[in-house]
């Protein structure tokens, strides 16, 4: 389903393309229609769904011709007229318009005079000093364009959850400590723990909103203030990351948190349920009747004023103070943020059948860590002590094997020596933690393993990994890993797809086939908690859960400081709907080992 903003964007771009072709009047009409759609209280798809073309024509500024275009867009997801215009004018409008200060008129000029069709052309022209010579531009605007290009480049990709969360927590914490602030909490995709983040969203309840905003827009990390208002401000940090802060009234806190946590698709589904009940859900609350005047005020953001708010609250508010209250009013179970993607969680919540997700404090062990025996930086004992500190009951030492020569991978002789050392250490630690003997054994080209079975059979935890030949065909790669899984000593496949988020695609492999082979062979698949990996990804975790394939959540620590750094892995597991029962290292040592040895 298309959102109002998406429909408005297409209409606006049509106007801009027409403007570039010097078509009279029409551009203005499309711009007006875009604004009207943007400001609609209800979703334009819903309006069309209930009232058809006629209802679209009733939107102010939307005539027959534009209504028909919206209809085509909603029905097919595409619009021929728009596509044709785009083809006729080979200018990447939406990218160019992201540069501060560039509108359709100046983009037209740049295209006509300098042939600038996209950001690359723009950069070339600016660096060559050509833009300052254009009429209506100058040295200043050329500089501004170069700045704008730099910002876009910096913020171009999405950010890793692992790099964003510490910043998000930090800002949240600082806001919370300000005088007058009752609550400050991270919402948006960061609260849903999505693996990559577009921007940080933070909600604040405060008696002194101006003070909170003043602090926020003046934080030392702020590179630029994008918007600053009484209730909503946005900044760009010097890291390139954008942060939005909104101040909301306590009465609406739950509704606002729900709205700004998203996902958008989850929100839309909830709102539809409200409409079915004859209610109305928005970021201000859940309301019994659609008091149009009140809603109008809300839309303009004036609702923050106490008087307007309490008037409406007394009139028709059903819930809004907490998220729990809202879900309860719907007759639903509370939905954990990590599940809010509208991929089936709403239906389960209605039936009170949501899975009980593995908790952030549920892990009892860590099954992948490396030490200074290979490419880790700390000793086995350091790692064990760090694990004790992290509250773990067991830790597996899984150093690399000899084929991974650059890490000083262990051969047969050295790993046997390491096993002896672990025996000694376990005695020394006197039961404070159980150090398990393990390996991260390389999978060779033909699917055989880098250590002989005689050694593997002596280990507590055998992990197998692909570290080479990433470019095999899908069939070869899949067969290779399946063969390793068929080895009766292999307990876990570590980082099963080999991806590095934003840096490296996974190798070609049929994960569905790996999952069914894991089921058949009793092999565990890993959820690697490294911020760059988070491998398996959420979709695959769900498939494992459905197939009854067990998983482990491992830190892949290469230093003591990284041991127990499992939060991101747990978050990923929760996004994949995993329960404690699905995660072997959420189990007691005894049960976990029994599964490892008995599973095959």
**Site of interaction with ligand DGT (CB under 6 A):** 3, 5, 188-189, 194, 197-199, 201, 259-260, 262-264, 267-268
Pick 341 or 530: Cβ nearer ligand DGT? 341
Question: Contact, 538 vs 572, CB < 8 A?
Answer: yes
Residues in region 511-550 near Zn ion by CB under 5 A: none
CB of 4 to ligand DGT, least distance (A): 6
Number of residues in contact with Zn ion under rule CB under 5 A:
2
Residue 172 within binding range of Ca ion, rule CB under 5 A: no
Pick 245 or 380: Cβ nearer Ca ion? 245
Please give the Cα distance from 31 to 11 (Å, whole number): 7
Strand, helix or coil for residue 589: helix
Q: Which option in ligand DGT, Zn ion, Ca ion, none does residue 375 bind, with CB closer than 5 to 8 A by kind?
A: Zn ion
Q: What are phi and psi of 225, to 5 degrees?
A: -95, 120
Pick 199 or 530: Cβ nearer Zn ion? 530
What is the crossing angle of helices 538-547 and 567-575, to 10°? Answer: 60
Number of residues in contact with Ca ion under rule CB under 5 A:
5
For residue 276, count CB atoms less than 10 angstroms from its CB and return exposed for 0-12, middle for 13-18, buried for 19 or more: exposed
CB of 337 to Ca ion, least distance (A): 12
Q: Which option in Ca ion, ligand DGT, Zn ion, none does residue 370 bind, with CB closer than 5 to 8 A by kind?
A: Zn ion
CB atoms within 10 A of CB 498: 19
Pick 160 or 197: Cβ nearer ligand DGT? 197
Q: How many angstroms from the chain centroid is the CA of residue 394?
A: 30
CB of 407 to Zn ion, least distance (A): 6
Please give the Cα distance from 161 to 155 (Å, whole number): 14
CB of 480 to Zn ion, least distance (A): 20
CB of 238 to Ca ion, least distance (A): 18
Q: Which option in Ca ion, ligand DGT, Zn ion, none does residue 260 bind, with CB closer than 5 to 8 A by kind?
A: ligand DGT
Q: Which pair of structure tokens corresponds to residue 18? A: 């027409």
CB of 438 to Zn ion, least distance (A): 13
Q: Which of 199, 251, 460, 567 binds Ca ion (CB under 5 A)?
A: 199
Q: Tell me the residue nearest to ligand DGT as measured from the CB.
A: 262
Q: Which pair of structure tokens corresponds to residue 22? A: 């010097």
CB of 365 to ligand DGT, least distance (A): 32
Pick 2 or 479: Cβ nearer ligand DGT? 2
Listed as own residue / partner, the contacts of 173-179 with beta carbons closer than 8 Å and 24 or more positions apart are 174/215, 174/219, 175/202, 175/204, 175/212, 175/215, 175/216, 175/245, 178/206, 178/208, 178/211, 178/212, 178/215, 179/208, 179/211
Residues in region 362-421 near Zn ion by CB under 5 A: 370, 375
Q: Which option in ligand DGT, Ca ion, Zn ion, none does residue 252 bind, with CB closer than 5 to 8 A by kind?
A: none
Question: Contact, 553 vs 527, CB < 8 A?
Answer: yes
Pick 320 or 522: Cβ nearer ligand DGT? 320
Q: Which pair of structure tokens corresponds to residue 40? A: 């609609």
Residues in region 342-371 near Zn ion by CB under 5 A: 370
CB atoms within 10 A of CB 520: 12
Q: Interface with Ca ion by CB under 5 A: which range of 83-91, 120-128, 238-246, 369-377? A: 238-246
Q: Which option in Ca ion, ligand DGT, Zn ion, none does residue 61 bind, with CB closer than 5 to 8 A by kind?
A: none
Please give the Cα distance from 345 to 333 (Å, whole number): 10
Pick 70 or 248: Cβ nearer Ca ion? 248
Q: Which pair of structure tokens corresponds to residue 49? A: 């769904």
Pick 266 or 434: Cβ nearer ligand DGT? 266
CA distances from 559 to 330, 387, 579 (A): 47, 11, 28
CB of 389 to ligand DGT, least distance (A): 33
Pick 35 or 419: Cβ nearer ligand DGT? 35
Q: What are phi and psi of 235, to 5 degrees?
A: -135, 160
Q: Which option in Ca ion, ligand DGT, Zn ion, none does residue 268 bind, with CB closer than 5 to 8 A by kind?
A: ligand DGT
Task: Kindly give, in sequence order, each residue whose CB lies less than 8 Å from that of residue 88, ignoring residues fewer than 6 positions away.
Answer: 17, 21
CB of 435 to Zn ion, least distance (A): 18
CB of 483 to Ca ion, least distance (A): 43
CB of 263 to ligand DGT, least distance (A): 5
Pick 69 or 402: Cβ nearer Zn ion? 402
Pick 194 or 489: Cβ nearer ligand DGT? 194
Q: Which option in Zn ion, ligand DGT, Ca ion, none does residue 262 bind, with CB closer than 5 to 8 A by kind?
A: ligand DGT
Q: Which of 201, 298, 313, 366 binds Ca ion (CB under 5 A)?
A: 201
CB of 511 to Zn ion, least distance (A): 23
∠168-170-172 over CA atoms, to 5°? 70
Pick 34 or 557: Cβ nearer Zn ion? 557
Give the β-pairing of 280-282 and 285-287.
antiparallel
Q: Which of 188, 254, 376, 438 binds Ca ion (CB under 5 A)?
A: 188
Q: Is the dihedral of CA 97, 103, 104, 109 positive or negative?
A: negative
Q: Which option in ligand DGT, Ca ion, Zn ion, none does residue 263 bind, with CB closer than 5 to 8 A by kind?
A: ligand DGT
Q: In what order do the strands lie in the sheet with 434-442?
A: 365-366, 394-397, 434-442, 461-465, 492-493, 524-528, 551-554
Whose CA is closest to 397, among 413, 407, 415? 415
Pick 144 or 499: Cβ nearer Zn ion? 499
Please give the Cα distance from 46 to 34 (Å, whole number): 17
CB of 97 to ligand DGT, least distance (A): 18
Helices (H), 156-199: 161-176, 188-191
∠303-204-201 over CA atoms, to 5°? 100
List residues binding Zn ion (CB under 5 A).
Answer: 370, 375
List residues binding Ca ion (CB under 5 A).
Answer: 188-189, 199, 201, 244
């Amino acid at each position: 389903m298309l959102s109002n903003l998406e429909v408005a964007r297409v209409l606006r771009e049509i106007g801009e393309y027409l403007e570039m072709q010097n078509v009279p009047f029409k551009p203005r009409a499309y711009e007006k229609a875009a604004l009207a759609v943007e400001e609609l209280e209800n979703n334009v798809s819903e309006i069309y769904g209930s009232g058809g073309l006629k209802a679209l024509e009733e939107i102010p500024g939307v005539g027959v011709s534009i209504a028909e275009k919206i209809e085509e867009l909603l029905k097919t997801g595409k619009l021929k007229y728009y596509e044709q215009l785009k083809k006729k004018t080979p200018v990447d409008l939406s990218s160019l318009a992201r540069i501060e200060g560039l509108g359709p008129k100046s983009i037209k000029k740049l295209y006509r005079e300098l042939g600038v069709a996209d950001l690359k052309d723009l950069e070339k022209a600016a660096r060559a000093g050509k833009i300052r010579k254009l009429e209506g531009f100058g040295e200043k605007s050329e500089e501004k364009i170069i700045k704008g290009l730099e910002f876009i480049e910096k913020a171009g990709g999405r950010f890793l959850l692992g790099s964003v969360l510490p910043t998000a927590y930090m800002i949240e914490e600082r806001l919370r400590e300000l005088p007058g602030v009752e609550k400050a909490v991270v919402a948006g995709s960061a609260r849903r723990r999505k693996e990559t983040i577009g921007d940080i969203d933070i909600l604040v309840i405060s008696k002194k909103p101006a003070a909170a905003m003043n602090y926020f827009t003046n934080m030392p990390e702020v590179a630029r203030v994008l918007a600053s208002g009484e209730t909503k401000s946005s900044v760009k940090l010097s890291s390139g990351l954008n942060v939005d802060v909104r101040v909301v009234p306590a009465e609406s806190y739950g509704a606002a948190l729900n709205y700004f946590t998203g996902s958008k698709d989850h929100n839309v589904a909830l709102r539809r349920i409200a409409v079915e009940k004859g209610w109305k859900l928005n970021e201000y609350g859940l309301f019994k009747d659609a008091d149009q005047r009140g809603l109008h005020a809300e839309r303009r953001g004036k609702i923050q004023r106490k008087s307007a708010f309490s008037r409406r609250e007394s009139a028709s508010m059903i819930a809004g103070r907490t998220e729990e209250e809202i879900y309860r009013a719907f007759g639903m179970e509370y939905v954990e943020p990590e599940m809010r993607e509208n991929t089936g969680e709403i239906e389960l919540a209605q039936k009170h059948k949501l899975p009980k997700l593995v908790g952030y404090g549920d892990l009892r062990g860590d099954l992948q860590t490396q030490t200074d025996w290979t490419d880790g930086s700390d000793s086995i004992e350091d790692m064990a002590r760090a694990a004790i500190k992290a509250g773990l009951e067991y830790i597996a030492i899984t150093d690399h094997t000899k084929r991974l020569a650059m890490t000083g991978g262990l051969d047969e002789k050295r790993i046997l020596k390491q096993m002896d050392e672990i025996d000694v250490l376990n005695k020394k630690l006197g039961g404070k933690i159980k150090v398990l003997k393990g390996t991260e054994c390389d999978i060779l080209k033909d699917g055989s393993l880098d250590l002989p079975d005689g050694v593997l059979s002596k280990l507590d935890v055998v992990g197998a990994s692909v570290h080479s030949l990433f470019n095999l065909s899908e069939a070869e790669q899949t067969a290779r890993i399946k063969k390793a899984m068929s080895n009766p000593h292999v307990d876990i496949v570590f980082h099963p797809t080999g991806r590095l988020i934003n840096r490296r695609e996974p190798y070609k492999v049929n994960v569905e086939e790996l999952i069914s082979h894991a089921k058949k062979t009793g092999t565990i698949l890993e959820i690697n908690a490294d911020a760059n990996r988070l491998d398996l990804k959420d979709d695959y975790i769900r498939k494992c859960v459905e197939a009854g394939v067990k998983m482990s959540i491992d830190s892949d620590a290469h230093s003591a400081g990284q041991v127990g750094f499992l939060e991101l892995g747990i978050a990923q597991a929760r996004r994949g709907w995993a329960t404690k029962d699905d995660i072997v290292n959420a189990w007691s040592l005894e049960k976990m080992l029994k599964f490892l040895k008995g599973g095959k």
